[in-house]
Structure 1
Amino acid sequence: MTGRMDLLAHLEAYVATVDEASFSRAADRLGIAQPLLSRRIKTLEAHFGGLLFDRSRRQVATTELGMLLLPYAQDVLDRAERLGQAARSARQAQVRAVGVPAHCAPAALAGVIRAGTEHGITLGVRELPPQERVTGLADGSLTCALVRVAPEQGAFRVPLGLASAPPSDARVPEGAEPQGRRRRALHLEDLRPRRSRATGGERAAALPLLILTEDEVPYAYDRLVRAAARSGLPEGLIRSAGPAATALAETLAGRSMLLCAEPFARQHGATWAPLADASLHRGYDVQGTRRQRGAQDVPDWLVASLAGAAGATSAVPDPRRTGAPGEDAAARLAARG
């Protein structure tokens, strides 16, 4: 015998033969061919230096050595079974790290953790920048993650818009209306400076447009810069937001606008208007770590929960998918589960 796992297989053959008093029935019980079972018994007898069964009779009989060793063999198998159960319990209790965008609402992240608990899985939610989520999947430190993709290619989309100071501030961009009212979609050309009577007809300075780390992925940033240029916005208007707290302070004071999702703006008391250009929205896929062939996809209930936490409100139109193009992504994914 070459190892402990071989020993377990040989002991299983031995105990099953004692219980069944038949080589054929023992082989059927273990789901193996009878010649293989017989070879395991002979190998075990050679290892212990004596016969375990008397084969001279018509019915298989256990020898004295076989009866003497039987309780020890059963004990080894029982301990191996308990060891396996402990390993399964440990795997089920293991915290599975999930990578999500920074600045998700705490209540939404709590919903993700609660969904895991309901399915018997302990989830550890980690708020990370886009590239760190991709790296975490590659090195195995994350079990699954929300991965940024182009909005037209993602499983679901998160509309982006501009957060600004409350509407009492004269510099609120047109279309950014108070919460609860119908909001007109905002075009980037709406942000172009306009002539003001108070300044003798001179154009007022445009407010800086701040972007969070989540939207600094190269393709998204490039799209935004190109769209701003086509809209006639001043060069250099788009800037990195830096720390979120500083960006929010600047935005609520009316000194800038912040590109973000609606839940983030609402959470911090800012006015928000959606961008009309859907190509500037966030696209996401939920991807899992696949270290071996045959690994299962991320379960639908987790995909739906993460979609809600990210603020997904509309599915990407795709003729291969079911459901209307404007259908709520979280509800659609939940229905799949």
Structure 2
Amino acid sequence: MDLVKHVRYFVAVTEERHFGRAAARLGLAQPSLSQRIQRLERELGVRLFDRTSRGVELTEGGRLLLAEARPLIAQADALLGVAARVRSGAAGVLRAAVPPELGAAVVAALVGGFRERSPGVRLALRELGAVVQLAELRAGTLDAGVLRHPVDVAGLGLGEVLCRPYGVVLPRPPDGGATDADGPGPDGGTGTPVRLDSLGGLDLVLFPQPSAPAQHAETLAVCRRHGFEPGSVIAGQDPEFVDGMVMSGTAVTFASRDRKLPPGTVWHPVEGEPLLEQVSAAWLRGRQDDPVVRLFAEVAKSVLIERGGMVPVMETAAARRTALPGPAYGYTV
């Protein structure tokens, strides 16, 4: 028995003091309403009404139960209202994640943009690598994310893939070197373009392989195709460690142009832009009609373009005639 629905019938009869009028108000036949009230009385074990020739009167038990019935209906209506707001995307919590080193400006704009467009939904945002994001999306403990490609996208829905070039971070030459005064980082300036094959003999500081194995393998493959065979590949993710290795003069690392750099280092573009940071919003396939997930994907795309300096990868691929991807990883460069 639907208790709340039957309590609504009880309250309607109480307010109308007549089964016929209550039935008309509820859109029911009078015999059907009488049967439902009788069922409620059996369920509660309490006689609710005294029937008279003029209508019905509440029993003492009915009066006591009426005092609890109206708050119950109010709470049920409130519950249904919240559920409707959650379904429509106007309330609730969205559990989302972004990859490490996406950029402070991008993260701040993502949180602010989502809050502005859906103030009733709390964005529970975390920083997670690709492997953990994939596992949580498939387990249902994460609603949406921003993934770096290439990754295994089986079972996922994806937003448009966006990209921006990676450059190489090198120690500043003793004479200061040629830089663009408008470049990034507290040390200022962007160095002159370098070729990957000019980095031979240096070590490469790269994010740990287990955090994004496909991206790790693809990065090394691109380096080798362009003539850079690192002396060794050093796992590093803490900025202090990575910067220290670069400043030692024995290693290089790759980064997007907006990465904040310490004094003594310079960001250089790589000739031909062979290395691209490639990202997209992602969600478990089947959630594409969820309005909050759709909103997150829209805000993420807008912020990555406006604050992250990214462009749709299809535009880059078309301009450079880059082959697009195999099914396992989404795409390759």
Same amino acid, percent of matched pairs:
22
Counterpart for residue 302 of structure 1: 299
Alignment of 1:2-41 (within 5 A): 6-19=2-15, 21=18, 22-28=21-27, 37-41=33-37
- Equivalent residue in structure 1 for 2:109, among 90, 108, 111: 111
Shift of 1:283: 1.9
The residue identity in structure 2 corresponding to 1:191 is L
Contact 2:48 2:62 in 1 (8 A): no
Separation in 1, partners of 2:208, 2:315? 28
Contact 1:112 1:309 in 2 (8 A): no
Pick closer, same or farther for the CA change 1:70–1:246 going to 2, 3 Å: closer
Pick closer, same or farther for the CA change 1:33–1:313 going to 2, 3 Å: farther
Contact 1:129 1:213 in 2 (8 A): no
Alignment of 1:152-171 (within 5 A): 155-166=161-172, 168=174
The residue identity in structure 1 corresponding to 2:111 is I
Shift of 1:73: 2.3
DSSP 3-state at the match of 1:136: helix
Separation in 2, partners of 1:167, 1:34? 93
DSSP 3-state at the match of 2:25: helix
1:42 equivalent to 2:41? Answer no
Contact 1:261 1:311 in 2 (8 A): no
Which runs of no fewer than 5 residues in structure 2 stay unpaired? Answer: 152-157, 184-189, 321-333
Alignment of 1:191-210 (within 5 A): 191-192=199-200, 206-210=201-205
DSSP 3-state at the match of 2:312: coil
The residue identity in structure 2 corresponding to 1:164 is L
Contact 1:96 1:122 in 2 (8 A): yes
DSSP 3-state at the match of 1:263: coil
- Equivalent residue in structure 2 for 1:75, among 71, 83, 91: 71
1:144 equivalent to 2:144? Answer yes
Separation in 2, partners of 1:133, 1:102? 11
Counterpart for residue 256 of structure 1: 251
Shift of 1:315: 1.3
What is the number of residues matched between the two proteins? 293
Counterpart for residue 310 of structure 2: 313
Q: Deviations over 1:180-204 (max 9, x none)?
A: 2787765423435xxxxxxxxxxxx
User: More displaced, 131-140 or 268-277?
Assistant: 268-277
Shift of 1:240: 2.9
TM-score by length of 1: 0.66
Counterpart for residue 225 of structure 1: 220
Report which of the two has the higher share of strand: 2
1:102 equivalent to 2:100? Answer yes
Shift of 1:169: 5.8
Shift of 1:11: 0.5
Pick closer, same or farther for the CA change 1:123–1:79 going to 2, 3 Å: closer
Q: Deviations over 1:255-296 (max 9, x none)?
A: 3221111222x3545422334556631222212357879544
TM-score by length of 2: 0.67
1:132 equivalent to 2:132? Answer yes
Separation in 2, partners of 1:139, 1:304? 24
Please tell me the root mean square deviation across aligned C-alpha atoms, in Å: 4.4
Q: Deviations over 1:168-219 (max 9, x none)?
A: 568x7xxx84452787765423435xxxxxxxxxxxxx33232224896333
Pick closer, same or farther for the CA change 1:139–1:39 going to 2, 3 Å: same
Separation in 2, partners of 1:309, 1:267? 22
- Equivalent residue in structure 1 for 2:182, among 177, 180, 199: 180
DSSP 3-state at the match of 2:311: coil
The residue identity in structure 1 corresponding to 2:138 is A
